[in-house]
Every structure is written in C-alpha cells, then in structure tokens.
Amino acid sequence: MSTTADATAARVPLQSPAYAHWLLRPVDAAAVEALAKAAGLPLPVASLLLQRGVMDAAAAAQFLQPTLDHLLDPYALHGMAAAVARVQQAIAAREPILIYGDYDVDGTTAIVLLKTAIEILGGTVRFHIPHRLRDGYGMQAEVLTRAATEGVRLVISVDTGIRAFAAADEAARLALDLIVTDHHLPEAAMGLPKALAVLNPNQPDCSYPCKHLCGAGVAFKLAQALLEAVDAQRAREKLLPSFLKMLVIATVADAVPLLGENRVIASLGIDGLQRPVNVGLRALFDVAQLDPTRRPLTAGDIGFRLGPRINAAGRMDVASEVVELFTTRDPGRARELAVKLDQLNTDRRAAEAAVLAQIEAMLAAGTIDQLGCLVIDGDGWHRGVLGILASRVVERTGRPALVLSHEDGEAHGSGRSIPGFHLLEALESCHDVFVRFGGHAHAVGFSLTSARVPELRERLQQHAATRLTAQILERKLDCSAELPLRQIDLPFYQSLRLLEPYGMGNEEPVFIARDLVLDAAPQIMKEEHIRMRVRDGETAMKALGWRWAERVRSLALDVGSRIDLAYRLRMNEHPDFGGLELEIVDLRPFASLETLL
C-alpha cells in the first residue's frame, strides 16, 4: 500500500483542467480542394481522407469502397513461399501439425483461422494455448519437446514466436520444422529466431505494405495462400469472405489501425458479420444480445461486446474453449460454451468493479501518492484484470498508471500511459528492479518482488518528474474540422458514412461548431442526460449529451447562452422526431479558451 511520506513533494493536481484542449488537425486547403474535385466529394470528407493518408482519387475510391480485390498478395510477405510449401508437404504426408497460439482474442482466432484452412485442405491439426498465469508469455520449449515425442514434425506459431529464441533452438534440436507467424516487433539486437520461415510484416526484410496486420491477420495470409493454391475461385467466392468474419473480430479487438489492408478486412468482415453462419458466432451473438437483423453490427459491438467475452476466456484460463466454440458444429455445445464465456465475462467485470471501488476509495482518501505516475498496489487482485484497471485509472485521473497485485511475495502488474509519456522507457529507467518487463509506449506488463515496489515507485517518480509536463497532462480532444451547422445536410451525412467502419486509426470524426445559441434551457433526461436545441443563425439542430446533465448544470446554461460545441453527427431514425442530430462530445462557453486554438 502506498503512503504519502513526502508530503512536500511538488504535486500536480489530480483533476483534469476544466476544459479540454481542442486540437484541430492541420490540413492543406489546396490539397483538400484538389481531392474533393477529383473524387467528387464534399470538402470536409476530402479533408478527413487526407488526414487518413488518402492522397488521390484512386486511393479515395479504394478507401470508400473496399472489395476482396484489395486484399494484398500473400506472397508479398517475406517467407510465404517456403511456409506454403512446407505446410502442403505436411498435409500430403498426413503429418500432424501443431499450431502454437496465444490466449487473447487475436491468438485464439488466429488458431481458428489457420486450423480451419488446413483441415479444409485435409490436414491434421492440434493446437496449444499457453496458460496465462502458469506459462506466462511466449513459446515454451517443453511444449515442443512433448509434441515431438507425440510425432509432430511441423510447428506453426500464430500471434507469437518472433522472440522465442530458446524455443526455436529447441525445435531445431528436436528436428522440428518451425514456421513463425507473428506481428510483434522482432528483437532488434538478437534478430530473428531460427525457423524454416518467418512471416511477419515487421521483420526487416519484409516489404509487405500493411505493417499493422494483427496476429490473426498474418495467420490469415498463410491460410489465404494455402486455400488459393488449391482452388482460387472457391477461396475467393466462399472461403475468404467467411474467414474475414472471424478475422475482423481479432483486427478490431487487437486495436490495430483500421487502415490499408486492415480497412478492407474491417469493412468486408463487418458486412459479413451481419449474417453470421458459424454456430459459435451465432451463439456468441445471442449471449451478447446482438441481432444484426434489428440493428446493424458495428466495430464498437466487436470491441465492447464480442471482444471482451472472447478475452474473458483467456483472462480466466480457458482460452481453448474459444477455439472449440468457433470450430464446433453442434449448436447445443456452442450455446453451452457461449453461455460460459458470457458468465466468465460477468465474473471478470465483477472482479474489476470490486478492485476499482477499492482503488477509488484509496484515491479519494489520499492514500495513493498523486504524483506524476500512479503506482497502485493491492493484495490478491485478479491478475487477469490489472490491464483493464490501469486503463480505468488513466481515464479517471488523466495520468499514467501502474496497477500491481501482490501474491506470495511477488508483485505482478500492468500499466497504461497517456500520449506523450513513453511508459516502456519509464520502466527501462529502473530495469534492475524487475524480474521481467515488456510492452510499448502506452502499455506494459511486468513483475518484481513485492519488497521492491516502494523503490519502483520512487524511481519512477524521479523519471516522471521532468518528463510528465503540464502540457502532456492537459486533457486533449482530437477534432477533425470546423463544421458550422449550415454545412450539415443529408448528402453530406451519407458521404461521411462511407468512412465507416470507424475504429483505431480511423476514428469517428469530431467536428467543431462555434458560437451557437441555445434556443431554450437544456432539458434534463433521466437525471443524467441532456437534450437541447442550438442555433447558428438560420440553422437550428437538436443536440444530445449523454451523462452531461451535471456539467451543464454547473455551467448554468440557459436560453440565449452562447457556446462552442465539439460534436459527432447522429441520425435519429424516429419516424416523427427523426433526422440529423448532434451528439455532444465537449462544450464550453463561447470563446472561453479561444486563445488556446
């Protein structure tokens, strides 16, 4: 438990400033006009495309209407030809193949995709998923030893393996052929593990244009090559579209940017998911209360409803049931497994809520040092939810946060950061306190002996003291463009919708309208939400604010108040009161912080 030993230390207030800093992305007006003209698009849409790296009319057409033809050639991945040849040989010789995966959504769906493809081609597959707590991260040599004694001659890793040097050496010693498929960054100094082939768009020799495939995406490219080699037409017309339904779940859940080939995957995959066929998918839709015939499925549904249920299995150590869910043909069994995942997700949320309540009490009571980077620890907190908890603390406080759980004298933790503060570098600055640690700029995982947590806290604060500036801590809101209300109409909304599905790297646009006048006092709905009518000269629109009641009360908004509004566009489908509406993202009195922009 933390203490406030050094009460005199310089403190930055925990609360975020009252108003977020609205950041407008810079655009080149001439380029926007040229693209709008060439592609026949409204100016704001052309501007959004340019912000997403779409530079010409051909790229715009591809971005706005992705098709199967936009999937990239699998052989553009370095090592593909060798990998395909070896898998084909194993299928022909009826050798059992071991797929070595991972326990999260990405790692389990990667197994499902590759296993299904190889079985369609007549191969025999078994798979291994590491146990989250027992095995830790990465490939274990013992698993390969056991597989070899059971007659396996070919191992394919999915979503893992790029740093599995010891396991790769063991495979070589056992005369096991190893194909590594992964998307994680290779180790810079050690290079690549010894393998028959390494498929990874991020390896130095690979010129594959889409560097942001998730692990299941790389496994899919191998599946695509294998299927197309046998029957390109059947693959194209039947198999790949159904594979994309599974792949989009990993692509969205793994939070890779939905640009380039990932946009093709996201767009076609979500289209396909409107008509799920796989009995496991259908069972999962049922327990998540998703019914695309009533409301079209969105990327948000994948990220917030499907992903967490699938991930719950890994957090609670039954990830292999995800593979069973998506490969069984028995609807009864699928239902049983889906209900279990749903229950695990409920348990996970309960575990998370219980610890979060403790953390909030600690924050409120001032028992946590509210210095630069928060280090929050407790006894026996479920290790499967530490990352989520760290994210919650970051949302709540606007600061980087590590959340640790003590168990038998050992502390395991996860951390999340804010833009501008490199959390892995922060951990590297005190590398000697850890038993192990890893991650990247905004997310880390680590372990250390419990006795050294105070030292970690202190050294981290020293590191953060100069780097976590007020500017970095300031709350920021990324906005796409100024869009006065008079520019909003149905044709504009319809062309805007072509940018969907939104997600990482292709965020739903937030627009700014300035100096709007309230037509009436805001209406409070269900005590929490607000509805109001805002006017810009001749144009008036409805604006809705979810959980904005308290803020609006504190701002004392009334008829005639002038505000600046950051908003998203919404279509209300109600037959009587329907039409385009504004969803409030942020608001403030007119020109209150004009100087900041």
**CB of residue 287 to Mn ion, shortest distance in Å:** 24
Exposure string over 442-456, b if 16+ CB within 10 A, otherwise e: bbbbbebebebbeeb
Alpha helices in 157-239 (DSSP H): 165-173, 215-234
Q: Is residue 369 at the binding interface for Mn ion, with CB under 5 A as the rule?
A: no
Is there a contact between 135 and 123 (Cβ–Cβ < 8 Å)? no
Give the distance, in angstroms, between the CA of residue 140 and the centroid of all CA atoms in the same chain.
26
Is there a contact between 363 and 399 (Cβ–Cβ < 8 Å)? no
d(CA 382, CA 56): 50
The stretch among 7-15, 189-197, 213-221, 585-593 that binds Mn ion (CB under 5 A) is 213-221
**CB of residue 200 to Mn ion, shortest distance in Å:** 11
Is there a contact between 161 and 139 (Cβ–Cβ < 8 Å)? yes
The stretch among 6-14, 154-162, 486-494, 564-572 that binds Mn ion (CB under 5 A) is 154-162
**CB of residue 147 to Mn ion, shortest distance in Å:** 22
Among 74, 86, 90, 106, binds Mn ion (CB under 5 A): 106
What mask of x and - would describe binding to Mn ion in positions 241 to 260, judged by CB under 5 A? -------------x------
Please state the length of the chain.
Answer: 597
Among 36, 71, 101, 159, binds Mn ion (CB under 5 A): 159
Q: Which residue is nearest to Mn ion (CB)?
A: 106
**CB of residue 107 to Mn ion, shortest distance in Å:** 6
d(CA 204, CA 186): 9
Nearer CB in complex with Mn ion: 181/278: 181
The stretch among 121-129, 136-144, 208-216, 482-490 that binds Mn ion (CB under 5 A) is 208-216
**CB of residue 337 to Mn ion, shortest distance in Å:** 22
Is there a contact between 135 and 128 (Cβ–Cβ < 8 Å)? no
Among 215, 307, 372, 522, binds Mn ion (CB under 5 A): 215
**CB of residue 190 to Mn ion, shortest distance in Å:** 20
**CB of residue 40 to Mn ion, shortest distance in Å:** 38
**CB of residue 110 to Mn ion, shortest distance in Å:** 8
Nearer CB in complex with Mn ion: 156/287: 156
Nearer CB in complex with Mn ion: 159/228: 159
The stretch among 211-219, 367-375, 549-557, 577-585 that binds Mn ion (CB under 5 A) is 211-219
**Burial (CB count within 10 angstroms: exposed 0-12, middle 13-18, buried 19+), residue 339:** middle
Nearer CB in complex with Mn ion: 254/342: 254
HSE-CB at 85 with a 13 A cutoff on CA atoms is 7
Closest CA to 338 of 290, 276, 415, 285: 285
The stretch among 32-40, 84-92, 215-223, 576-584 that binds Mn ion (CB under 5 A) is 215-223
HSE-CB at 331 with a 13 A cutoff on CA atoms is 4
* Total chain residues near Mn ion (CB under 5 A): 4
HSE-CB at 327 with a 13 A cutoff on CA atoms is 21
What is the contact surface with Mn ion in residues (CB under 5 A)? 106, 159, 215, 254
